[in-house]
Structures are given as structure tokens and as C-alpha cells.
Chains A and B, each alone.
Chain A
Amino acid sequence: MKKLLTLLSVVLGLSIALNAQNTFSLNIDSTDARLSDVLDSFTAQTGVTFSFERSLGDVVLPKVHVSLSNAPLERLLSEVLAGSGIEWKVSGMTVALSGAKVNSPAAQKQWVGTVVDSEGNPLPGVAVFVAGAISSGSITNDQGIFNIKASPEDDIQFSCLGYESRSIKASSSQLKRVVLKDEAEVLQTAVVTALGIKRDEKSIGYSAQKVEGDMFVNSATTGNWINGMAGQVAGLNIDRSSSPDGTMRVTVRGESSADLENNTALFVVDGVPMYNSATQSDTGEGSIYAIDYGNGLADIDPNNIESVTVLKGAAATALYGSQAANGAIIITTKNAESQDAVFRVSIKSSFAADKVLASPDLQYTYGQGTAGLPYYYYLVSGEGDDVAGINPRPDYVSTSGMESWGPKLDGTPYYQYYNVAEGIGGHVNQYGDFVRDATPFVSYGDWFQNYFQTGLNFSNSIVMSGKIGKDNSVRVSFTNNTVNGIVPNSPSMTNFLAVRTTSRLAKWLKMETSVNYRNTRKDNIPVSSGYGSTAIMYSLWCYAPNIDMKWPSFYWKDKEAVQQDASLSGGKNNAYFLAYEGINNQKRDRVYGNVVFNADLAKGLTLMARGGLDIITDFRTQRQATSTQAKPQGWYREQTIGSKQYSGDFLLKYNTRFAGDFEFTGNIGGSIIWRSYSNHSQTAGALNIPGVYSLVNTSYEPKTANSSYVRQTNSLYGMLSLSWKNAIFLDVTGRNDWSSTLPAGHRSFFYPSVSGSISLNDLFEFGRTNGLVNLMKIRASWAQVGNDTAPYRVANYLQGTGFPGTVALPATRVNSNLRPEIVSSWEVGLELRMFKNRFTLDAAYYDAVTKDLISQMPVSYANGVNYMYVNAGSIRNRGVELSATGTLVKTRDLQWKVGLNYTMNRNTVVSLGEGIDSWIIASYSTHAYMIAYEGGSLTSMYGKGYVRAPEGSTAITAEGKMVDVSGLPVLDNQNLYQTGTELQYLGDCAPDWKGGFNTTLKWKDLSLYIGFDGQVGGHVYSYTNWVLNYRGKGTATLEGREGGLVPVGVRLLPDGNYVVNTTAIDPANIATFYHNKYEQTNGEANFVSTQFLKLREVRLEYSLPKKLLAKTKVLSGASFSVYGNNIWCWSDFPGFDPEGVTMRGSAVIPGFEILQMPSTAQFGGSISLTF
């Protein structure tokens, strides 16, 4: 650690040393003043003297406006001399000026020219400006003509949205007629690859797919920028926790390890790996469900994303090593370096509203209660005692509860919910006593939607960016997001502040800095999904259509606010009580950033050195009010989570050409990543005074829980690249890691990669000249990536137990022989660009085998532990990825583009380790399992099914015919379906294939974007399905409530023969019938398809024409957009959203949908102005 700090201080110290010279204050404000006059003033104020040729003193500086205090000399000089072309050299307190190019106003000229596109059409509205100059430049008129003042040596820059930017010397003859190429014709060649190395796309031998920043413009109001990635990238899979603003699980190219938490992609922001994992805060009820605080992915402001590159295979990520084994997502943030003006301010405001996307098929015909009983009464069994006196009729029994098998909602008067204070369900008689009334038993409609409110999202951001001289740029952005969630009482606010600078400190040295700050304040994060008593959905599923959702909103039973009224939810927590009293809040701050130095050391030799840090502090409080089901005496917890990451890395690069056509690039680099994490909590297990949440207000000593870790990875790596004729490319990489998390003998591990590509159209003539084939590239790669593990899995230790002075074993056995895991993969691909790049295609086939995976292997409890860390198993993922774009129509005013992508992944368990042929990857209670068998897929789902007549079974019908009854369900002696005891294969939770389709239509300044995506195949075990049918909430349970029904199936006679069932179920027994049909332990009954097609996004955007903007003099850009996200979903999925999975513990586990939250459709609009 000390060494790391030393390194950091050297890196950081260097930047300080370069800046922290003597500082001065200077105040000059002059127009068209002579240089010598300005410098006199400079000397008078600072004591700095100047030496220069006499003629230089006559140079006129058009505008000097400097007002600085305590600034370094370099800064003052650059301010004063900016744009003058005068160079300086500092030597102590003397500055030597050289004016090789004297830029007197006389030397400046008016330059006139025309800007046209490649077809010769004039381009209006093109920004024209002098590079590095302070003057604001100009804009081409209707005829594409510009007029600008500059000296002959100046570079004049041209930039226009949708066209390639150009820079031309003022004196050049090309200035008369400037041709700007359409962006589509220009190959998007630069791709950011591992370690931030920018490569020509044609030269890389693996798949890297880029998503431009404008895909994320609407993400600000969706809580997470990653929403903008949906359907954009072949091979990418996003599992969303259904909690609002919840955890996102991003995987690339399938599940590669039996440890599902280990399969997520690495995120890298501006070259530094980002710490991402979520920290769980359980609710004191076990970890089947948890409060979802989201993971670190949300910490990136979508407004700042320049582009995102997805590096998919091992060859692409081999240089990132550990943790990039499952792909890497490289985020580049915006800086001001290449912006087209000296100073810009842009403002963006968005507003969006969220509505529950859709409800399941709910029935509104029958109310709460028990089948077969002709009356309704709202109290819960066992609570009757307390209000015996008020009960109006003696024969009323407690028949409500969380199920909906009650009487028909036909307006029959029943004694229902009553509330004396609110005057509901009764009246005050002449003596002033409250008397209950029988009121019509009717449906109040969609109780789900009536509970949720319209969510509101506001996002406001301001970006200021400027260039200081030729060599420096600064971009500062601030964004505020304010959200009111769909769950009542769940407001939150987020502030993002980001600063990016680039500066050329010396001719040979460039510095870039990036600092990001995100501050989150969530006033209440409801436990939204999951089967546990404090989850909103758990409560909500207890309500029924006979309840006016206004009723439970009076959630206190007593005036003293001590006892909740849980009667309408069958004794489970009142959903409003949870939202308003079970408050979980969070105050989180994260600062991350880095400083990068790029030095040109010699011809072809460059060095990059970078230092990064990432600090998170997270303070959470959790409340459970007195009378909460699980915490009858109330409960309060404070939790402080902190994490720090320091990283330092360098890369030395040498590039040379030799033997004419050969180019060689060598990279050597190294990095250190040090991370610490701590989690401290204190819990008051019972409150002394109800409603007071403080660790002081506790009936007994607060319980503390602490955990922490420190880990470090050191690495050295290298890459050799060789190319011939810029057409054949070969890369070889190698990396060695040293990880503190592995046992001493296995800490060091090495892994290589080889990749190559051939640009065929550079070698052979394919009609490049006539624009038929612009690029035809084939690529191939093979690579290994090593991976370490989490801390403290290699040394045995004992845990505390909560009882002083005692210990217990952890339930997972550590393993002191753990080896690093190695992923090997190869891939081939083809890239094609045709018809002036109007058609592009990228195809890839990959085959990745992961071996020696470090996994928490389930072992028999008889071992005294239930898991053990092992290196075991081998898993293969093979797949095809296709993406294509086409510009179908392209005229001056109209453009129509379409994009398509397709992903198909096949997962196979090759082996599971010595003597093991199956492995439970994940499970939910005993209801459903994800089990890996050798030869099967890792994501195979198993569960119990109906007892069915075996193959070849026959039965005699009433008519005396013999019929084949193989596979029909076998009913028991009560005519009920039976669940078998053996697990059977149910299906796969991974889809057969996924695809995305998007189209952009542009007409003049109006553009319309529509994006669809979906999947074919895929299943989950659904608790929502169970609760819909088991509790009589869904339309599927309407059949047979009156008149009964004849269950389809056979019965086994004592003699071993079958008979087809003809006996009907009595309506009084209908609940029992459905209970058995949809028993939660019956995986088959609750296994549902997640196939879907979603209208993911529609966006209509209008940008004010440049002409109009030019007239305003101040505005340089203005656009307005309206959009909708997650607008429609076509699916047979019975719950809310086929994509919604549930947060369990600190991870999102696919394959199990445990009472998800409804997903939302969002509609919004935004205004964006740039000055």
C-alpha cells in the first residue's frame, strides 16, 4: 500500500510540480492595444520582465481581458498572448518572446469560400472558425458561403452535424471550395479498445461494438443510462431488478460461470475500471429479498457519455485481465477538446411521467373471502376478539384474508370495512354512536394501479465548456435529477457534477483530468419486490377488487399511531403503512476521477501514466414501525458503507515503420488497483418509544455488524502489433497478474492472446473505386483471460455468533488451494461496408470455454458446511452475433436508416468436476431450481410437475371405449391435481435468440427514432403466476366458481387401471382445487414463457435550423424532443414484465421471478439549448 501511495504521489506530485510555480495576480483590460503597452502593464503588476525584438512590440493585440489572481505565469501568458501566435519561453522571472509569425491586424485578411457536400450541394449553417482564436467565427449562409477574418497561417475549421469536420490552412487554395464528407461515408474508424488504446477499427481482430452517446439522451429520466443500451448491441444481455432505479445485471455472451454473481461485465470509465457491485441491506428477515439500492452503474451521468464500446470476447479484454473475463463496457465521457467554439453553454431540461405499463389479467368478479361462504366480513381470523362488541351479527365469521375466493361482486350489501374516524362503512346515530352499515359489495377496479401513483421525473442539466488557447479545454457539467417514484412516498434526488479538462502542458506532454461527483439522496426506497413481509408487492397481492384503495391508506388503527390496520391485507403488512412508515433512506456520495499524462518521449515513443481514485460513502437508515409484522416492537438500523479504490497504471508505446510496408507497435504497461471496503451497521431491535427512530431509543443494546476487506491486484502486460500494408494486422498480448485474494502459491498468473485481421479490399480490388465495397474485413482471435476471486476465500476462519465469547464455522468452506480461473475463447468475424457505407454488416461467431471456475459449490449439508469454494467445471458458450445497418433513403432533406441486431448463444456444461454430474446453480426454496447437468445448459430450470399417467396408459370411457391417457394428470381421491416428488426438466431460462430493430427517419430538422427489441424463447419460474392463480386473483381462476368444473385428468383405480375423470369439483371446494393446481412447489404449474417484443423507445426530435440559429446571434443549437420509453410489450408472460427479475441478497438472479414490481411506461419531453 505504501508503495502504491508513493507511486500515486509521484504521479499527482508531478502535476502539481508543473503547475505550482510562483503565482501572480494580473488585471488587464484593453482593446487593440500594442503588445509593448500590454507588457509594460504586465511587468508593473507582476515584476516579470520580457525580452523581445523591437518589431514585436508593435503587434496589436485585438482584445486582452485578463483578471486573475494567484495564477501561474504560464497561465497569464497564455491568457494575454492567446491567438497572437507569439511563443514564449520562461526563464526565472524573465520571459523571452519570439514572434516568428507576426500577427498584426494588418496581416489578417478576410477569407471567403463556399462549403459544399460531396455531391456539390452548398451546405448552409456550417460553423467556420479559426482554430484557437478568441473570435467567435461565422456560419455559412444559404448558398454555403462563409466570410472569415484570419491570418494566412491560421487553421480554419469547418464543422457541421452529420458531416466530417475539416481543418484547412487559410492560405490554402482548397479554402475556395471546401468539401465536407457525409459522416456516413467516413469510416467510423477509431475504436477505444482495452486500456483506452484507440485503434483503427480495421486493425482489430475481435468484436467491438460502439454505441454513440446520443442513444442515452433519454436515459436521464429512466434512472440508469444502461437503459439506452437495450436492443443496441448484439451479445449484450441486461437483467433488470424490477425495483425502480434498481440493480442492473449486464452480461455479455452468456453465462460463463456457475457463480452467477461472477458473470457480469466489467465497466471502465475513461480508462479506469469501475467498482460496481451492490451492497445488500437485508430487512432483518433473511436474504430472499432485499432493499435494492441499485449498483454503481447508475453513477454515470448519461449527458456526459460520448460513446460506449462493448468489448465482447476474451481477445478484446485480455489486456484488462481479472474481472473482464465476461466482457468489458468501455465508457468514454465527453470533453471539450474537439468542440467547435471557444465557449459553449448548453442547457437541457427533461420531464417524464411514469405509468404502470400493464397489469396482469386480474379478475373483478369475486371479492376477498372463502369459497362456499355466502357472506363477507373483513376481519382477519384471530383478530375477531378485539372488536367482538362491534360485530353487528353473531353469525359472521372471519372470512377475509389474502385470497379472493369470496362472494360475487354483485352489489349485495355486506358489512365491510369501516372506519369510525373517516366515517366509512357506517353512520353516527342519534345518540352519537357509530353504527355499521351494510354497503354494496362491488369492484373498485384495478387495485394495483390504484395503489401506484404517476411517477414524475425531472432532469435539468447545464454544461459549460471552453477552450483556453490552443492547448487547454475544460468541460463542466451539472445535472440534477428529481424523481417521484410510482410507489407512494418514494422521492429521490441525484446530482451529478463532472469536470473534464485537457491541457497541453508542454509540446511533448498532455494532461487530461476527469472528476465526477454523484450525490444521491433517496428519502425512501421501498422494499418493492420479493416474497417477504416488508415487500410492497407481498402486501399488495393480498388486496382484492372489493377494496377501495383509499381504505388501506388510513393505515393506523389507533390515534396513537402504534398499531397498523392490516385487516384489509389479511393480516399482512398494510401496503401504505410500509410506504409511509417503513422508510429506508440513503445518502450516498461518490467521487471518482483520474489524471492522465500522455508524453511524446521520442519519435514513435509515447508514455501514458494515469492515477485514478474512486471513493464512495453511503449512509443508510432503515425503519420498521411498531406493529410491523416481522418486527412487532419496531426496528431501526443505521448502516455506513464505504469503499475506496486507488489505481495507477502506465503504458509505454513504441511505434515504427520498417521495410516500407510494415508497421510495428509495442506496448508495455503495468497497473495497480487497490480497493478497500467496509460496512458497519447498528441495529436497534426493539423501539422503546414507538415512532422515534434513533439508536438511543432502544429497549436493549443495539446490535452491531461489521465487515470489511482490502484487496490489491498488480499487473504487468504487453502487446505487440504488426501490420503490413495497413491491410494485414496481427496482435499478440500477454498479461501477468498478482492478486491478493488468491493463496500465496497461486497469486501470480499469466495469460496470452493472439488476434488478427485482414482487410481484403485493401489487398484486392473489390470495386472500392466505385464505392461498391468500402470495407471487407475478416478477423479471427484466440485468447485466454485469467480471473481471481473475492477476498477471504482461501484461509479458514471462525465467525462471531451474537453470543459473547462464542464462535461458529462459516457455512461455506474456504479452500487454500484455489487457483485463478481461466477463460479461453476464439472467435471469427466478418465486417462489410458497401455502397458508400450505406450498408454495413458485422457478423461474429465465437466459442468460449471457461475452465477451473472458482465457484461456491453446493455440497451435502452432511459435510457440516453447505458450500465449498472450488475450482471446478467447464462451461462452453457458443454463439452468433449479427448487426447490420442500412441507409435506405438518402436525399438532401430525407434520410431513412434502419439498424438490426441478432444474438444467439448456446450454453453447454462440459463438465462439473470429478465425480459430480449435477450442480444446483440457483434455487427458490424447494419450488424451482436452476440445475446444471453435464451436457445440458447452465440455465436449465427444474421443478416438480403434475403427477401424470405414464406412457402407454389407457382408460375405458363411460361409452366403453379404450382411450390413450398417457401424460394426462392423475387426480387424487378428492379430484385434485397432484404434484409429483421428482424434479423434472422444465425448460431453459435463457432465450433462443434476442434481437433488436431500430429505425431513424430524418426530414430536414425533424427526426424520428423508433426502437424495438425482444427475445424468442426463455422461461422463468414465476411467483406472480402462483399468486394470481393460487389466491384467486387472476381471470384464470374464474372457471368453476359457480357450478363447479370437471378437472381434466384421470384417476387411478385400486386395480391399477385408469379411468377418465367425469366428476365435478364442488364450487365450495374450488379454492382447494386451484390451490392444488397451482401449488407453489409445482414448478411446472408456475413456469412461464418470457418471450416478448417490446416497443422500447420512440423519440421525435426537432432541431432549430442553423439559419434560424444564426439570426439569433447567441444560440448555436436548439432542439426539442418528445419521447416514450418502454411503451408497449407483447408477451404471454402473466406478470407485469417478462424482463423483470428479482433482487435477492446483493445480486439479481435470473430464472426466478419473485413477485416483481410492475414496470413502467415512460413518456416525456426535453428541451436542449446550446449557446
Chain B
Amino acid sequence: MKKIMKYNAILALTLLSLSCSKFDEMSKNPYALETAPAESYVHPIMFKTQYNLISVFRGTTVFLSQYAVMTNSEVSSRVIGNYNIPEGTSDDIWTGLYLQYGNAMAMYEQAVKEKNDKIKAVAMILRSFLILQLTDTYGDIPFKEAGLLSLREGDGKYTTRYDSQKEIYKSVVCMLESANLLLSQDVEEVPSFNAICDKTYGGNYEQWRRFGNSLYARVLMRIGMKVIEEDGGILELGDEQWVSVNVTNKLSELYSCFLSGAGDYPMMRSREDRPMIPFSDQNETEHTPFYSTTSGNWNVVAVCDVLTRRMLSTVQKVDQNGITYYESVLHTQGGHREDPRYDCWWRKVHGMPNQMIGSDVTKFLATHLSSAGNSVIGRMTYGRNAGSGITGKVYDLQNASYYPLMQYSELLFIFAEAGVRGWISSISSFGAYLPLFRQAVTESILEWNPYVTAESDEVVEYVNWVVNGELYSGSTFNSDNALEGVLTQKWISSFFIGIESWCDYRRTGYPLLRTDGPAAGNDHILPTRMRYPSDEPYRNTVYYKEAVDGWLGGTNNIQTDVWWAATQESRDIRLLGRQ
């Protein structure tokens, strides 16, 4: 019986330990935080966004915008440069940036909780930037219901309704206005936030404000043509605080603030103000997306002659296979012109025609060899110690130490275009916008080439050539072709900037791009948008169908113009490029 008592003791102990008091403690993850200050979200969002955008540039935009051609031995007719966009190509923007949008929403909600208006304003700028990239890529997308699941309890709502691009732009304008207002208050009292959380501006609110307002200028330029055509230039915002915005007036106001350095909308005033994201091969966290790309894979991207013709002096030739191409005359003739950025981007100088069929690509590569048996076609610069092709200057595009999210030169190009279009009256004459144009080109050069200054001969010479050479519709830069001139140079300057050049093309039709080469697909239309991701129909069935059956007319196609690109002017100019 004694023994039975002993076992009963065990039984009792077992029952006792069934009480679950320790379970609460046990259910906490020791390697995670429950909350963190709003500012601690900033750098990861910035870094991952830029990581995503530069890989999208090198993987997609570089071919879409005809900077480069794909040359590898696996080349098939289904390459982006032929507009036969393989399914899944564009999914990364959606999957990558929406996750960051979720973080930006969490940051925003945390800032609201902290009652910190300034960090809330930074969150609004980040949200604006992210949602713009997304809508510019896909068109109508979830916005009002986006990013909510990341912060709210699972209440059964995990499908997200799509909003029209116009609605999204209206909200973005309100957000950017509000962010500017919130950041204008008590600047002296709260000069910055924790610099460790912000490797871009070191927590400097003033620079965030300038970035936000410069982004505002991008927004206004993006929608300007559409709003003027559709609503006479007035965008009704339908917001209690922000009722409507007159696009051209607002751009004029931004320009005068830019000029004076004063006013309600502080703008970026120099390259120092542009958002730049540091990368490093000295830290695994900060590697570029290309860190481990082998030279073989890196080199499958060859410079396209559409670009070399605008950056270098070239002559038109026909090779033994009957393929027309433009050969750089750089090394063979005196008085050549060379873009000082070219060295930083490309090794070797010859460009390749685009939209060739696969067997022609092989033949072309085999034909264009140097006497040493090596290809003379330009490839992107890479490698920490590799000298680049022409002048031996070192530039490593593969592992650069920073990439700008938005350039200072872009702001200058925006104002120059607004001047050309007559939207800003003070710079609507040729004489007034020409210096702005020159400055924009120069600033872009200085962004990329660390070996020159604005006064260097090669810079001055090149900028003169840009203005006086017969680069635009076969003539020098003048008031008739100024729009083409400004946008062609803006296209060059948008190299490595996410999807910006593709947006400008869809908006304006410039630069004039060929879309009907022998291998061109997609009914000879340069894709007007990217397809929604292939798994979205399964993740968000009802609203996906609503969007596809709605504005897309039934198929997830890449030929429907997004809202701001659907203007007659843009369509007409895009058609010009097809000849």
C-alpha cells in the first residue's frame, strides 16, 4: 500500500504540472521584438526597395528601354527586349515592394501611436514612393486596403480590393502635401531622428522634406499631360484638407521654391540632397543583388546601339550577314564625342542592334570580334579591380558603393520639361530652359563619373555636343525638338534608376524607340504595363478578376495603357518610333 501511495504522489505531481501558468512565457519568441520605435523601420525599407529596383533595372528596364540587349547562348525569342515578356518577369516588383509597403504601414501606425508627426511624415513619403512604383508598373492595384494585414489582427479579411490609378495618385498627392506640412513645423526643436536607422539622410528631417517635395514634382510631371487633357489641369483630390491641385501652378510654385531656396516647398538643391542608398561588398547584409553574379552571366548584357548612338560618335554600317549596325568611331577618327558616363557603365564600345532573331544574335556576336578573337561589343562594367574599356578608369557597376533612388538631375530635367511644355512661364522660352537643360545633363554626368567636375573639358565638350550635335530627329537641340532632346537626355540619365525611363517613355513617347524589329513580339507594342503576378489570381481571386475584367478588358495583358499614359500625344509619338 505504501508503494501505491508513492505512485499516487507521482500522479498528483503530474496533474499539478498540468496547470499552464508557464505557457504564456513559453509562447514568446526569444529572438524577436514585440514593438520598436517607428524610426527603426526606415533603413531596411530604403535598402530593400533600392535592392529591388536596381535588380529590376538590370533584369528588365535595361532591355525594355533599349539600353541593352541580351546575348547569352540560351537566347531564345522570348526575351524582354523582344517584348515577349516571360510570365513571372515582373513579379519581383509586386512581391518585393508590397512587403516593404507593409513595413511602411507598420511604421506609420507606430508613429501615430507615438504621436510623432515627423516620423509619421517620413512614413508617408515612404508609402508614397512605394505605391507609386507599384502603380506605375501595374496600373490599378490594391492601395486603400493594402498593407493592413501586416498590422491588424487576422479578422478574416485577407483579400484586397484594387483601386484605380487616378485614385491612388490623388491620395499620394494628399500624403505628400501632408508630409510637407508636418515636416514644416518646429524643425528646430526636433532636428533629426536616430541616424543609425537612416543611412540615407542620417535622420535629417529637412532632407526628407526636400526628397518628399522632389517626389511631388515627379508625381505632378507624371500626371500633368493626362490631367490637362482630361480635367483641364485640375486634379480634384476630394480630401477635407486638400481639395484640389492645379498641376502647372503647383509645378511653378515648386520651381520658384527650388530657385529661391525659400517658400513652403523646400526642394533638393544639390546632389547632396538626393536619396542615395549605400551598398558594400564588405558586409553580407549590404551586398548588391549582383554580388555573386559571375562574369559570364554579367556579360550577357551587351550595350544596345540605340544607346551608343546617343552617347558616342557612330557610323552606320552593314555587316557580312546583312545586319545594319552602328559602329563607334571612337578609336578610329579624330574629334570624337564621348559621354563621360559611358566609361562608368560599359567596357568596350560597340553597340548591338536589338530585336534580332536568335540565330542572327549568334552570327552577329561571331562576326564582331577583335583581332584577338574577343568580342568588341560593350558589356557592363564590373569587378573591383577591372579597368574599364576605353580610358582605363575604374568603375564597378556590379558592386557600386551606392545607387541613387532618385537623382538630383531628374528634378532639373522635370523643370526643364515643364519649361519646354510652357507649364512654368518663367522658363518657357528656349533661352530660359536651355541653361536648365545643360545643368541637368551636367549633374547627371557628375552623379556617375567621379573623375570629372562640371568644368572638365570632356564634360563641357560633351554637353556642347549634346546641344549642338545632330542627335534629335537629325538636328541640333532647338525649340522644335526640345521635348525630344530633354527626354532623350533624361532617358540616358535614368540609367540604373528603377523603372523611371520606362515610365517617361510611356508618358511621352520619348526617346523614339524601335518596336518592330524582326523578333519583336507583343504586336509591336512596347509593353505598357507589367502583368499582375501569376499567383495573384489564387491569392486574391475575386478582386483580381474584378480588376482584369474591369480596366484591362478581360486579360492580364501588357498592351493596355495605365491611366497617366493614356494620352493622345503619347500614343502618337510612340507610333513614330515604330518605323
- Which residue numbers of A lie inside 8 Å of B, CB to CB? 1, 3-4, 6-7, 10-11, 14, 285, 370-373, 380-385, 388-389, 391, 393-397, 399, 401, 403, 508-509, 533, 566, 570-572, 599, 601-602, 607, 609, 629-633, 648, 650, 652, 670, 672, 683, 685-686, 699-701, 703, 706-712, 714, 716, 738, 740-741, 743-744, 747-748, 791-792, 794-811, 813-817, 857-866, 868-870, 914-920, 923, 925-926, 929, 931, 944, 972, 974, 976, 979, 981, 983, 1066, 1068-1069, 1071-1072, 1075-1076, 1079, 1081
CB B366 to nearest CB in A, in angstroms, measures 5
Jot down 20 A-B pairs with beta carbons below 8 A, ordered by A: A3-B13, A10-B9, A381-B299, A388-B372, A394-B372, A401-B74, A599-B7, A711-B26, A740-B26, A798-B32, A857-B158, A859-B540, A862-B101, A865-B102, A920-B538, A972-B521, A976-B76, A1072-B75, A1072-B77, A1081-B87
Contacts of A813 in B (CB 8 A): 149-150, 154
B1-41 to A contact mask, C-beta < 8 Å, 1/0: 00110110111011111101011101111111111100011
B14 touching A670 by the CB < 8 A rule? yes
Contacts of B456 in A (CB 8 A): none
Contacts of A11 in B (CB 8 A): 10
CB A1110 to nearest CB in B, in angstroms, measures 46
Residue of B nearest to A630 (CB): B292
| Alpha-carbon separation in the docked complex, A944 to B535 (Å) | 12
Contacts of A808 in B (CB 8 A): 41, 44-45, 103
9 closest pairs, A vs B, by CB? A864-B102, A926-B88, A864-B150, A3-B17, A802-B285, A571-B296, A797-B32, A863-B149, A382-B299
Indicate which residue in A393, A685, A792 contacts B29 across the interface (CB closer than 8 Å): A792
| Alpha-carbon separation in the docked complex, A632 to B20 (Å) | 51
| Alpha-carbon separation in the docked complex, A1068 to B362 (Å) | 10
A1069 touching B358 by the CB < 8 A rule? yes
Indicate which residue in A395, A533, A796 contacts B373 across the interface (CB closer than 8 Å): A395
- Which residue numbers of B lie inside 8 Å of A, CB to CB? 3-4, 6-7, 9-11, 13-18, 20, 22-24, 26-36, 40-45, 47, 71-78, 86-88, 91, 94-95, 98-99, 101-103, 105-106, 141-142, 145-151, 153-154, 156, 158-160, 194, 196-197, 199, 281-285, 291-292, 294-300, 357-359, 362-363, 365-366, 369, 371-375, 379, 519, 521, 531, 533-542, 544, 556
Indicate which residue in A670, A738, A799, A923 contacts B32 across the interface (CB closer than 8 Å): A799
B373 touching A388 by the CB < 8 A rule? yes
Indicate which residue in A10, A381, A1069 contacts B359 across the interface (CB closer than 8 Å): A1069
Indicate which residue in B103, B197, B283 contacts A809 across the interface (CB closer than 8 Å): B103
B44 touching A806 by the CB < 8 A rule? yes
Contacts of B34 in A (CB 8 A): 795-798
B197 touching A806 by the CB < 8 A rule? yes
B153 touching A817 by the CB < 8 A rule? yes
| Alpha-carbon separation in the docked complex, A810 to B31 (Å) | 12
Residue of A nearest to B149 (CB): A863
| Alpha-carbon separation in the docked complex, A384 to B24 (Å) | 63
| Alpha-carbon separation in the docked complex, A367 to B372 (Å) | 25
Contacts of A396 in B (CB 8 A): 373
B77 touching A380 by the CB < 8 A rule? no
A388 touching B374 by the CB < 8 A rule? yes
B102 touching A712 by the CB < 8 A rule? no
A7 touching B13 by the CB < 8 A rule? yes
| Alpha-carbon separation in the docked complex, A397 to B370 (Å) | 10
| Alpha-carbon separation in the docked complex, A1020 to B215 (Å) | 48
| Alpha-carbon separation in the docked complex, A205 to B17 (Å) | 33
Contacts of B87 in A (CB 8 A): 926, 944, 979, 981, 1081
| Alpha-carbon separation in the docked complex, A401 to B99 (Å) | 37
Contacts of A566 in B (CB 8 A): 294
| Alpha-carbon separation in the docked complex, A149 to B378 (Å) | 99
A803 touching B535 by the CB < 8 A rule? no
**Contacts known (A806-B43, A918-B538); A7 close to B10, Cβ less than 8 A:** yes
Contacts of A686 in B (CB 8 A): 281-282
**Contacts known (A631-B292, A700-B282, A815-B154); A915 close to B99, Cβ less than 8 A:** no
Indicate which residue in B4, B15, B99, B538 contacts A670 across the interface (CB closer than 8 Å): B15
| Alpha-carbon separation in the docked complex, A817 to B42 (Å) | 30
Indicate which residue in A373, A572, A794, A862 contacts B27 across the interface (CB closer than 8 Å): A794
Contacts of A926 in B (CB 8 A): 87-88, 91, 534-535
Contacts of B6 in A (CB 8 A): 14
| Alpha-carbon separation in the docked complex, A700 to B281 (Å) | 10
B365 touching A397 by the CB < 8 A rule? yes
CB A1154 to nearest CB in B, in angstroms, measures 16
Indicate which residue in B27, B40, B369, B533 contacts A792 across the interface (CB closer than 8 Å): B27
Indicate which residue in B4, B145, B531 contacts A601 across the interface (CB closer than 8 Å): B4
CB A598 to nearest CB in B, in angstroms, measures 11
A707 touching B31 by the CB < 8 A rule? yes
Contacts of B196 in A (CB 8 A): 804-806
**Contacts known (A808-B103, A809-B102); A919 close to B41, Cβ less than 8 A:** no
| Alpha-carbon separation in the docked complex, A926 to B295 (Å) | 26
Most chain A beta-carbon contacts within 10 A, residue among B17, B33, B379? B17
| Alpha-carbon separation in the docked complex, A747 to B379 (Å) | 61
Most chain A beta-carbon contacts within 10 A, residue among B43, B71, B73, B153? B73
Contacts of A972 in B (CB 8 A): 77, 521
B379 touching A382 by the CB < 8 A rule? yes
| Alpha-carbon separation in the docked complex, A944 to B153 (Å) | 36
A862 touching B44 by the CB < 8 A rule? no
B40 touching A632 by the CB < 8 A rule? no
Contacts of B154 in A (CB 8 A): 813-817, 868-870
Residue of B nearest to A685 (CB): B284
| Alpha-carbon separation in the docked complex, A384 to B40 (Å) | 47
Indicate which residue in B7, B285, B541 contacts A803 across the interface (CB closer than 8 Å): B285
| Alpha-carbon separation in the docked complex, A805 to B195 (Å) | 10
A381-B296, A792-B28, A799-B32 known; 15 new pairs, CB 8 Å cut-off, are: A10-B10, A380-B296, A714-B20, A740-B20, A795-B28, A797-B33, A798-B33, A798-B34, A806-B43, A809-B102, A858-B539, A861-B98, A868-B154, A1069-B359, A1071-B358
| Alpha-carbon separation in the docked complex, A741 to B375 (Å) | 61
A650 touching B538 by the CB < 8 A rule? no
Indicate which residue in A714, A740, A809, A944 contacts B106 across the interface (CB closer than 8 Å): A809
B26 touching A650 by the CB < 8 A rule? no
Residue of A nearest to B72 (CB): A381
CB A723 to nearest CB in B, in angstroms, measures 27
Residue of A nearest to B89 (CB): A926
A1079 touching B88 by the CB < 8 A rule? no
Indicate which residue in B10, B86, B106, B284 contacts A1081 across the interface (CB closer than 8 Å): B86
Contacts of A1066 in B (CB 8 A): 359
Contacts of A1075 in B (CB 8 A): 74, 76
A864 touching B106 by the CB < 8 A rule? yes
A703 touching B373 by the CB < 8 A rule? no
B374 touching A384 by the CB < 8 A rule? yes
Indicate which residue in A748, A815, A1068, A1081 contacts B88 across the interface (CB closer than 8 Å): A1081
Residue of B nearest to A391 (CB): B373
| Alpha-carbon separation in the docked complex, A815 to B363 (Å) | 58
B18 touching A811 by the CB < 8 A rule? no
Indicate which residue in A631, A700, A931, A976 contacts B538 across the interface (CB closer than 8 Å): A931
Residue of B nearest to A916 (CB): B541
CB B29 to nearest CB in A, in angstroms, measures 4
CB B283 to nearest CB in A, in angstroms, measures 6
CB A235 to nearest CB in B, in angstroms, measures 30
**Contacts known (A601-B4, A714-B20, A805-B194); A863 close to B147, Cβ less than 8 A:** yes
Residue of B nearest to A380 (CB): B296
| Alpha-carbon separation in the docked complex, A1079 to B282 (Å) | 38
B18 touching A738 by the CB < 8 A rule? yes
**Contacts known (A670-B15, A805-B40, A981-B531); A860 close to B359, Cβ less than 8 A:** no
**Contacts known (A385-B374, A740-B26, A972-B77); A860 close to B540, Cβ less than 8 A:** yes
Indicate which residue in A382, A650, A703, A864 contacts B101 across the interface (CB closer than 8 Å): A864
B23 touching A393 by the CB < 8 A rule? no
Residue of B nearest to A921 (CB): B538
